């Protein structure tokens, strides 16, 4: 499901149904039903003993479609035996990384893929400084380089890491809805906030509850990054009302991940002029967009004919997981693992304050040049609250299935958001 579909549930669209039952055995020569937490790498490893997901892709092209990285609970996959596809199996077996014993004195050089413009805030202000600090903390024993070919497809990042194509990446959690549903908490309406506030709260949720399970055993999680929460941008001649469908008019909702960060703001402004009309043609454009202030201004969405309906704790709040493959992590010495861990976790989450500063700068410029701010009326706010409750029910089901005390975890996450409310910049 596209991440924006979670956001528009506040306007009458329901969340995905509760997750299916536990994973069944993967047996070659039979059909397998995709279960919560599955990835192609996990399924192929279960079937063949190695990550040979290319076999599954080739055997299920009609089912997987154009994006094999997106699996859905309940999908039926054909699991061919390896002797029916020797060429593919051999190729993938060669590329499967083997955990290496750390070697004293030899630097560990890891490829880290970044699916965004090098100058974009998530790279220039958050990820790149973090990776540099790792190099300094390990005295150069752990270094990061870009892969020979950078993959800018946001939906492909998790599979790139778990397949061994690269050693590390950051992954938009909206693309992990099926495999890692517990990471979707900030995507639920009214369950996010400022970037640093959200990233720290999500990390605390992970540290206190999620990490006690095997929900993230397919990669080594370093920490979370968050963007600021999204609000509703709309034409001033139209009000945002309860029951109104945003889905039909919000077909380019997340430029952070699908344009601005990959092709640059000028190109995005041009694309938006083509999609939505120029400033003079704004009345013919779509009614609403859901995004943060920096995205709205950087992508050319906002102009004098549009204002913002500010939603406390947001329509949705995008977050990212910063991961290394388990094989890459195993190559690092225990001492250097400890040094990296000290820079990861909550410390990494705190770096999301740079995204707050970026967003706040754009917000102030917009306010100085006539941004009109409104707030949800009673009926719309009630619909948002109902949608949030629906999302929390789904989240609680997934948590309970993993043995997590769901209501206790939700209360803890909310308490962290409230405790960190001082980080909210736009009120």
pLDDT tens string, the chain, 427 residues long: the values are 433 333 333 322 222 322 233 345 788 888 888 876 677 767 877 787 665 666 787 788 888 775 555 667 778 889 988 654 433 333 333 333 444 445 556 899 999 999 888 888 999 999 999 999 999 999 999 999 999 999 888 888 999 999 999 999 999 998 898 899 999 999 888 999 899 999 999 999 999 999 999 889 999 999 999 999 988 877 776 666 655 544 333 333 333 334 333 444 455 445 544 444 433 334 444 456 677 888 778 766 676 677 888 888 888 898 999 999 999 999 999 999 999 999 999 999 999 999 999 999 999 999 998 888 988 888 778 888 888 898 999 999 999 999 999 999 999 999 999 888 765 544 3
Helix (H) or strand (E) holding 113: strand 108-113
CA-angle at 53, arms to 52 and 54, nearest 5°: 95
What's the CA gap between 268 and 257, in Å, rounded? 12
With contact defined as beta carbons under 8 Å apart, do 104 and 333 qualify? Answer: yes
Residue 351 lies in a domain: no
With contact defined as beta carbons under 8 Å apart, do 177 and 1 qualify? Answer: yes
Residues 6+ positions from 29 with CB-CB distance below 8 Å: 79, 80, 81
Residue 274 lies in a domain: yes
pLDDT at residue 300, rounded to an integer:
67
Residue 282 lies in a domain: yes
Residue 249 lies in a domain: yes
Q: Domains in the chain: how many in total?
A: 1
What's the CA gap between 394 and 385, in Å, rounded? 15
Residues 6+ positions from 36 with CB-CB distance below 8 Å: 19, 20, 23, 73, 178, 179, 181, 398, 401
pLDDT at residue 16, rounded to an integer:
30
Residue 275 lies in a domain: yes
pLDDT at residue 322, rounded to an integer:
98
DSSP 8-state secondary structure symbol assigned to residue 216: T
Residue 270 lies in a domain: yes
What's the CA gap between 125 and 178, in Å, rounded? 30
Residue 303 lies in a domain: yes
Residue 300 lies in a domain: yes
With contact defined as beta carbons under 8 Å apart, do 282 and 239 qualify? Answer: no
State which residues form the domain around 273.
Answer: 3-12+230-312+365-411
What's the CA gap between 378 and 165, in Å, rounded? 50
pLDDT at residue 426, rounded to an integer:
43
What's the CA gap between 90 and 113, in Å, rounded? 25
With contact defined as beta carbons under 8 Å apart, do 289 and 298 qualify? Answer: no
Provide the 3-class DSSP secondary structure of residue 226: strand
């Amino acid at each position: 499901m596209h991440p924006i579909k979670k956001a528009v549930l506040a306007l009458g669209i329901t969340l995905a149904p509760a997750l299916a039952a536990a994973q069944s055995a993967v047996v070659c020569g039979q059909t397998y039903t995709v279960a919560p937490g599955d990835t192609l790498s996990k399924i192929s490893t279960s079937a063949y003993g190695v990550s040979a997901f290319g076999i599954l892709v080739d055997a299920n092209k009609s089912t997987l479609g154009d994006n094999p990285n997106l699996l859905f609970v309940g999908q039926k996959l054909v699991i061919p035996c390896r002797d029916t596809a020797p060429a593919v199996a051999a190729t993938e077996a060669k590329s499967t990384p083997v955990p290496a014993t750390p070697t004293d004195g030899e630097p560990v050089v890891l490829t880290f893929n970044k699916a965004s413009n090098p100058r974009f805030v998530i790279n220039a202000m958050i990820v790149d400084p973090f990776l540099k600090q790792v190099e300094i903390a390990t005295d150069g024993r752990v270094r990061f380089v870009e892969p020979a070919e950078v993959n800018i497809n946001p939906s492909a990042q998790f599979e790139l890491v778990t397949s061994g194509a690269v050693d590390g990446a950051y992954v938009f959690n909206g693309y992990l809805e099926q495999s890692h549903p517990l990471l979707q908490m900030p995507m639920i309406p009214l369950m996010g906030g400022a970037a640093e506030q959200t990233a720290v709260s999500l990390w605390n949720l992970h540290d206190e509850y999620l990490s006690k399970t095997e929900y993230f055993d397919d990669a080594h999680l370093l920490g979370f990054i968050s963007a600021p929460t999204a609000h509703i941008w709309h034409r001033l001649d139209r009000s945002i009302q309860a029951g109104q469908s945003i889905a039909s008019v919000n077909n380019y909702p997340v430029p952070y991940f699908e344009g601005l960060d990959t092709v640059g703001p000028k190109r995005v402004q041009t694309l938006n002029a083509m999609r939505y009309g120029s400033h003079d043609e704004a009345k013919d454009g779509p009614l609403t967009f859901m995004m943060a202030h920096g995205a709205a201004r950087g992508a050319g969405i906002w102009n004098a004919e549009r204002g913002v309906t500010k939603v406390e704790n947001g329509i949705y709040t995008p977050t990212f997981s910063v991961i290394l493959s388990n094989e890459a992590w195993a190559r690092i010495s225990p001492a250097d693992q400890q040094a990296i861990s000290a820079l990861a976790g909550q410390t990494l989450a705190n770096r999301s304050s740079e995204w707050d500063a970026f967003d706040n700068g754009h917000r102030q410029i917009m306010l100085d040049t006539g941004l009109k701010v409104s707030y949800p009326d009673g009926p719309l706010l009630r619909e948002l609250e109902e949608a949030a409750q629906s999302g929390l029910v789904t989240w609680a089901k997934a948590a309970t299935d993993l043995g997590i005390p769901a209501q206790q975890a939700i209360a803890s996450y909310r308490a962290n958001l409230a405790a960190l409310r001082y980080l909210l910049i736009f009120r």
